[in-house]
Each structure stands twice: as structure tokens, then as C-alpha cells.
Amino acid sequence: MHEMGIVYHVADEVEKIAAQNDIRHIGSVTLQIGEVTGVIFDYMSDLWGWVSDKSSLLKGSRLLYEQIPAVTLCKSCGQRYGTVQGGRQCPHCGSWDTVLVQGNEYIIKQIEADS
């Protein structure tokens, strides 16, 4: 389960950041999630509720998200295009020599503390 691993990883990271910054309670955590990660955010949000409930730091906090659009670079003509619209084949020159440059990652963008 992809989502479960991410939720545990995010919770660990937030615990570390909170300890370093003397934060006692988290209000919300904002993630940026790539368009082609395949992550189902609603499912992740449910898991967050379950995981955060076991932590005094995270209890009652909200998990928010923003999407990072997926972008592919064509190595033949050097143009970039939307991965979801264009797929693996470059819509500009028809080449298959393309590489995903963003959209398959997730980032903890923001952590909001409440006191």
C-alpha cells in the first residue's frame, strides 16, 4: 500500500521537524503530490486521521494537499509538455525519447503549528 508508506513517512518527518523547532502541536500539514504518483488523496487523508490519532503532536491535525503537474521533457526536440495530455510520445516531434521531469514525487510543503 503506497499511501500507507507515505503517511507514515510524512508523520515521521513532521515529528522530527516539530522536535527541532519546539512545536508541541500541529494544526495542519500541506503536501505537494505529483500528478502521476498514483496516490489517492482521499484514502491518504483517512489514513492520516488514523495515524495522527495515535500521536499527541498530530492528534486532530489536518492533512492538506496541492497537486504538482506532471511534465515530460523530449530529449529529441527539447520541448516540455504535460505528461497526462501527451503521454510518452512527444506531441511536438513524435519522438519516444522522452523523460518525466516532475510529477512523480511528493514534498512536505508546509507545516502549521497551533499552540
**For the stretch 73-104, what's the b/e string if a residue is b when 16 or more beta carbons lie within 10 angstroms of its beta carbon?**
bbeeeeeebebeebeeebeeeeeeebeeebbe
The answer to whether the annotation marks 93 as part of a ligand binding site is: yes
**Please, which residues bridge with residue 73 across strands?**
80, 99
Tracing cell 497551533 back to the chain, one arrives at: 114
Q: State in angstroms the smallest separation of the CB of 105 from Zn ion.
A: 23
CB of 81 vs Zn ion, minimal distance in Å:
8
Interaction of residue 71 with Zn ion, rule CB under 5 A: no
Query: How many Å is the Cα radius of gyration of the chain?
Result: 18
Q: Decide whether 31 or 74 has the Cβ nearer to Zn ion.
A: 74
Nearer residue to Zn ion within complex by CB, 84 or 93: 93
Binding residues for Zn(2+): 74, 77, 90, 93
Q: Which residues bind Zn ion (CB under 5 A)?
A: 74, 76-77, 90, 92-93, 95
